[in-house]
A and B are shown apart, each in its own frame.
Chain A
Amino acid sequence: MKKLLPILGFILSFNALAELRATGDLGIVIERENGSALIINTTEHKQLAKIGKLGDLSHASVVFSRDQRYAYIFGRDGGLSKIDLLQDKLDNRIIQAGNSIGGAISQDGKLIAVSNYTPGGVKVFSSDTLELVADIPAYYGDGKRSKVVGLVDAPGQRFVFSLFDAGEIWTLDMKNPQKPVIEKFKNIGKEPYDALITPDGRYYIAGLFGASGLALLDLWNTGTGVKRILPGYVKDDEKLPVYKMPHLEGWAVAGDYVFVPAIGKHEVLVIGKQNWKLIKAIPVPGQPVFVMARPDGRQVWVNFAMPDNNQLQIIDVKDLSLSKTLTPGKAVLHMEFTPRGEQVWVAVRDDNQLVIYDTDTLQEITRLPAHKPNGIFFSARAHKTGL
């Protein structure tokens, strides 16, 4: 028996290890057509589970609880699903609106906000129970409701979002959940279509579809109002057709630069964070959709709208030039960097694959099957403002 003890101990500890699961290196991959989400392990390059019946996941996005146990998935059909990454199961699911576009988690992790097209507005829920905490209809003009886009979390338990139809930016202070405080910024420009918040949580920048340039709100100095960046950059008559709206959400901030997709022009714009002036326009082969900086800010990766969506381009931030073009496959829809950026996962919808690259050598490491993947979200987002 004495002899057996160490062996027994070994077996027990091995079993215990097999049962435990950490979630810091996990992620969610959205399969839009199936309405399912894959739980993946980014260290082992492995699919752990598949959670189905999540509704219409076209344009789905995901945020994570601060303990990185739960993923909240925002579906197109107004579905809000809470996935338990520890137990590979759906923890809770509600249909909170008719048509929605994205969401955010509050600074303290207790609130989930969703931006809705129909009915236009923002709804705020308890991240624990998914019970409604606040309903913020996006009224403008004479009682119309606007579609809401570009919803992000901001320091001070705030959310910030834009009203597509109204051309407004609102901040929503949820310090007292019973008494939400809204501040409205009007006439910020026609048709804000998406927005980003800088990683430090200070600047909120909305892209404008119906007007030239971007709308900038300094959250440290909201009293100065919203300022237009790059006015008159793309003239209406020279605008190229946009086959997919660009996305601004993501870490498009690298060092002193902000990288944004030009809209209606095949360029990535580099804007200086000091004075918000254009530093350089980098020509690219198509309409950029996602322009994402590697976590260390050395590279910026760009994907494109159709018909140029078989490519990925990498910008070297050191000299602001294109350093490499990759062609992972048909319909490159999204990418996500590992927390410290040594690898990037790429969703290739029409090839039903996830492609993983080494971001240093730019060599492909491996491919994993996924059915029509359209979004990749890693749990490291849990601790980042605006993601």
Chain B
Amino acid sequence: MKKGLLLLCVTINCFATEPSPERQTTLHNLLKNDCGACHGLTLQGGMGPALLPNSLAGKPDEFLVSTILNGRTGTAMPPWKNFMSQNEALWLVRVLRKGKH
């Protein structure tokens, strides 16, 4: 387990710093409006699946960060890497896991 955690830390930087307040606002808006376009304003799902804490439980950070940045081939999920950094994607995943946004 420790090894896995360490590996995760190396690949997606566990010690990521929080985005600036301005970026947080931008990312919140993006989440609500652009992610919300497919996943629903309240993220309960639409054409895309729900992004509530329950629905994300069991899915590792690394997988979710990669889904956000690179999209999912064969689905409607596009890559968002032109709009945010890896660090910011990880921050979004944590926001989603908390379920308060």
Q: Which residues of A contact B (CB under 8 A)?
A: 32-33, 56-59, 76-77, 98-99, 101, 117-118, 147, 164, 191, 193, 209, 241-245, 306-307, 331, 349-350
Contact = CB atoms under 8 A, between A and B. Distances in A.
Contacts, number: 56
Contacts of B79: 241
Nearest to B45: A99
Contacts of A243: 34, 37, 78
A245 B83 contact: no
Contacts of A98: 44
The range of chain B's interface size is 20 to 34
Given A57-B41, A58-B36, A164-B47, 7 more contacts: A56-B41, A59-B46, A241-B71, A242-B76, A243-B34, A243-B78, A244-B34
A307 B33 CA distance: 12
B40 A56 contact: yes
Contact of B44 (A99, A191, A306): A99
22 contacts: A56-B40, A56-B41, A58-B37, A58-B40, A59-B37, A76-B40, A76-B41, A76-B42, A77-B42, A99-B40, A99-B46, A117-B45, A117-B47, A118-B45, A191-B76, A209-B76, A241-B71, A245-B37, A245-B38, A245-B47, A245-B76, A331-B33
Interface of B: 29, 32-34, 36-38, 40-42, 44-47, 71, 76, 78-79, 82-83
A76 to B, nearest CB: 6
A37 to B, nearest CB: 15
Nearest to B78: A241
Nearest to A58: B41
Given A241-B79, A307-B83, A117 B34 contact: no
Nearest to B38: A245
Contacts of B40: 56, 58, 76, 99
B43 to A, nearest CB: 10
Contacts of B44: 77, 98-99
Nearest to A191: B76
Given A56-B42, A76-B46, A242 B78 contact: yes
Which residue, of B34, B38, B41, B76, has the highest number of chain A Cβ atoms within 10 A? Answer: B41
A198 to B, nearest CB: 25
Nearest to A307: B83
A172 B46 CA distance: 23
Nearest to A147: B47
Contacts of A209: 76
Contacts of A99: 40, 44-46
A349 B34 CA distance: 12
A290 B19 CA distance: 34
B42 A244 contact: no
A245 B48 CA distance: 11
Contacts of B47: 117, 147, 164, 193, 245
A58 B33 CA distance: 9
A59 B40 CA distance: 8
A147 B71 CA distance: 22
Contacts of A59: 37, 46
Contacts of A193: 47, 76
The 5 nearest A-B residue pairs measured at CB: A241-B78, A58-B41, A244-B37, A56-B41, A56-B42
A307 B71 CA distance: 16
Contacts of B46: 59, 76, 99, 101, 117
Contacts of A331: 33
A361 B82 CA distance: 37
Contacts of B78: 241-243
Contacts of A58: 36-37, 40-42
A350 B42 CA distance: 18
Nearest to A287: B78
Given A117-B47, A244-B34, A32 B41 contact: yes
Contact of A349 (B33, B71, B83): B33
A155 to B, nearest CB: 29
A375 B11 CA distance: 42
A305 to B, nearest CB: 8
Contacts of B37: 58-59, 243-245
Contacts of A307: 82-83
A27 to B, nearest CB: 22
